[in-house]
A and B are shown apart, each in its own frame.
Chain A
Amino acid sequence: MLKAVKHYLEVLRYSAVIGLKCEMEYLSYTLCWLLMIPIQIFSGVYVLKVIMDRIGTLNGWSFGQVAFLYGLGVFSHGLQDLFFIQTRHIEYSVIRGEFDRFLVRPLGVFFQFCIGTVNLVGIYDLIPGAIIFAYGCVQVNFQWSIPNILMLIMVVIGGTLIQAAIYTLTGSVAFWTKKSSVFVGVNLQLFDKTTQWPMSIYPNWFIRIFSFLIPMGFVSFYPACGLLGISSGVSFPLPLEIPLWTPLVGLAWFLLARRFFYLGLEKKYESAGS
């Protein structure tokens, strides 16, 4: 078991090296991203700031608290971009028969598929994300205690898994339909709207859908509530504000999504051409 983990980590490490080398082949492209992403992320925050300057608080959330939530959302988005960008492109690989080459190698297909592109653009997301998060932390006077740090790490990992799971689930539909890219745009939009704004501004039915049907609320909303001591306003027998829900929900959904991917691969994958 330990040997297998070491094996996978070593392949992951070298794939990251390859990702870095590929990125350096197209340096001007990298510079474009480095310019684009901060504009995108900071403008999102700026819109929030302008709105909040007019209305003071957003359903009880101060701007500092919103920045904390927003930063948390960007972290898991960035890590998802870094390690799981391929889950957005399952359709392409199904149509082009790209899984063939992974199937003939002695490693898990889903693993090979994901790390086939370690996408450094994800790291460029993390930089503006960190700046916004740091601003939020200062504003809300976040305590950097050991338990808080550990919880933050767990939340970011869990959020990354939730995002990866949703892209994988919707992307794997392509095994049956050959097309699934339509979901990518929807997912991106939904994640923006549910992880960068406090969900309590939405009506109850919306919050419930995006908590229990599609677990987007667990990416940043509930854990931010928990870490900042704000009530989510959602009545449920269990307290949803416990940050530990995020890694648990993330792991469960990720395993489910992986299972669904393999179901499609084994039952429906037809390769392509000769």
Chain B
Amino acid sequence: MEQIVLDNVVKEYIVAKKKKGMLGALANLFHSEKIRVEAVKGISCRIEKGEIVGYIGPNGAGKSTTIKMMSGIMHPTSGNILINGMSPQKRRKEVVKHLGVVFGQRTQLYWDLRLGETFELLKRIYRLPDGQYNGTLEELRAVLGLDEFMDIPVRQLSLGQRMRGELAAAMLHEPEILFLDEPTIGLDIDAKQAIRDFILEMNRRKKTTVILTSHDLEDVMKLCTRLIVINKGIIVEDGPISEIVSRMATYRMLVLEVAEPVQSIACDKVEIMKIEGRKVWCKFDHHAYTAAEIIHALGQELKIVDLSVREPDVEDAITNIYHSA
């Protein structure tokens, strides 16, 4: 079932271009040039129930803007958004009942209260029956390990603890869709791992659809099966992660250790990246040649002592996509 549908969604901002200097500041009082900036330039996609989608792109690509439009915070300039068949702008209250939203850079917890008190308020806002509330909370406490800090005021929590609290607050009403905007920003390895485990667990148990933005590609690799890449307001890639990686990261890296120092290599099947004494780094197109062919060819002119081959990874793929767009 298609749970999220975006059709040709555009978001325009009007930005006033300010003139520089004191004279410019005076001139701005009377007239400043207005420029239209298209943060999102007509994107379309469809997301099924239960998918975990990595929504990635460089800073300012339009990720957060899209998430804010999908969650009813902002209105698109044109185009259509449907969540469960309803527009989050026209029927906001009905749509957001089934959404959970976490912004890594913002908090929705009460600064001076214990976590438990924020949960009690949310219970009333979402009108959760006692049984359901207690059951979900019990589950969240166990999976997120909330017990160790349930009774500490939120302002005294560490970032990792707070983020676990945020996730619990977003999941309390068992939303069908979870929007996570950089949920692991600034967290240490353990905290990141806890959050990843949690997301997978919720997806497995409740079939929660997850839309995740992150600059940490490990999050994306460990969690997502599908990747949507946005750059400069346009979706440039959309598909299974493995497919994108193998298509976009066409090169494998070969690191050689040779018996005698070399200056250059004649073989035209590889591209030399770096030579340091007896160590040579070169890359080759793994769609054109196999590693064995390359090693054989290089073996003709070099005395290879040791070698290793590095697989292309998502980081290479993403770097390629960002730069080619």
List A residues at the B interface (Cβ < 8 Å).
7, 10-11, 14-15, 18, 21-22, 25-26, 97, 99-101, 103-107, 112, 266, 269-271, 273-274
Contacts and interface: CB of A to CB of B under 8 A. Distances in A.
A11 B63 contact: no
B101 interface: yes
A14 B68 contact: no
Nearest to B121: A14
Interface stretch (B91-99, B136-144, B157-165, B224-232): B91-99
B271 interface: no
Contact of B93 (A97, A100, A106, A269): A106
B115 to A, nearest CB: 13
A106 B127 CA distance: 10
A106 B181 contact: no
Contacts, number: 70
A15 B124 CA distance: 10
A21 B68 contact: no
Pairs A-B, 9 closest by C-beta atoms: A274-B64, A106-B93, A101-B108, A106-B97, A104-B101, A22-B112, A103-B73, A25-B112, A11-B124
A90 B97 CA distance: 25
B126 to A, nearest CB: 7
A15 B121 contact: yes
A103 B68 CA distance: 10
Contacts of A269: 74
Contact of B106 (A10, A14, A26, A100): A100
Interface of B: 13, 59, 63-64, 68, 71-75, 92-94, 96-97, 99, 101, 103, 105-106, 108, 110, 112-113, 117, 120-121, 124-127, 153, 181-182
B110 A107 contact: no
Contact of B110 (A7, A18, A271, A274): A18
B258 to A, nearest CB: 48
A266 B75 contact: yes
B182 A274 contact: yes
Contacts of B105: 273-274
A206 B162 CA distance: 53
Contact of B121 (A7, A11, A25): A11
Contacts of A107: 93, 125
B96 A25 contact: no
A25 B153 contact: yes
A18 B114 CA distance: 10
B110 A100 contact: no
Among A21, A100, A269, residue most surrounded by chain B Cβ atoms (within 10 Å) = A100
10 contacts: A18-B113, A18-B121, A97-B106, A100-B103, A103-B71, A103-B72, A104-B72, A104-B73, A106-B97, A274-B181
Given A14-B124, A22-B112, A273-B105, A100 B68 contact: yes
Given A100-B103, A104-B99, A274 B113 contact: no
A93 to B, nearest CB: 12
Nearest to B64: A274
A262 to B, nearest CB: 11
Contacts of B92: 103
A104 B64 CA distance: 14
Nearest to A11: B124
A225 to B, nearest CB: 42
Contacts of B117: 18, 21
Nearest to B170: A104
A94 to B, nearest CB: 13
A250 to B, nearest CB: 26
Contacts of B96: 103-106
